[in-house]
Amino acid sequence: MQGEREKNRSSLMQRYGLSRRAATRVVALLQKQLDFTPTLLEMAAEDEGARKLVTSRELMQNPEDMQEDELRAVAQDCGCEDADLLRLVRDEESGWTTVALEDDLIAEEAERQQQMTEEEAAAGGIVKAEPTGMSRAETEELFSSEAVSELKLNALTSQDPDRRTELRGRTATGEDGER
């Protein structure tokens, strides 16, 4: 899990509604490889206790040594209403510590399971694709320039509604077809 690592205070203030003080502390903690999930940062903008937690001296002193129970105790002292839901997620490879809510961990796990399900479906030959428009190259492969011109002319000038939507029995390659 990775938290927000934006180091521009103004951006943090705009994105999450943080005070300048809270945004400054977030950037300072990033220098100590401690980040917060976006959910927790949004909460800090609305909840006085969460804001106090983000700006607390205890986090600034030794974030790399802080344990989850210590974090929760600090959060309770700050009056954070969701102190019992706070989690510390450490990435041993990178050395980063993320302060997260239990909600964040559950949501990330659900997303990971969804992604695995989609990957399994793709491996089994089932492909989920989002519908997209055709590119110009695909359109040119299907319709000759004459066919496109005829479609445009019919769409713009024909009084017959059927001619406005069809190529009068022609296939996409211009060959005569049966009706």
Q: How many domains does the chain have?
A: 2
Give the CA angle between residues 172, 173, 174 to the nearest 5°. 95
160 lies in the same domain as 78 = no
Residues 53 and 16 in one domain: yes
Do residues 161 and 110 share a domain? no
| Of 4-8, 130-134, 151-155, the least confident | 130-134
Find, among 91, 118, 101, 107, the residue nearest to 33 by Cα: 91
Say yes or no: 157 and 72 in one domain.
no
Residues 159 and 92 in one domain: no
Q: Which residues form the domain of 117?
A: 9-121
Is 179 a domain residue? no
Render pLDDT for 39-56 as a digit per residue (tens, 0 to 9): 999 999 999 999 999 999
Residues 38 and 101 in one domain: yes
Please report the pLDDT score of residue 141 as a whole number: 73
Mean pLDDT to the nearest integer, 13-26: 94
d(CA 95, CA 72): 21
**44 and 99 together in one domain:** yes
Region 78-96: mean pLDDT is 93
143-174 pLDDT per residue, tens: 777 887 887 887 788 777 776 555 445 444 44
With a CB cutoff of 8 Å and minimum separation 6, the contacts of 83 are 49, 53, 72, 75, 76
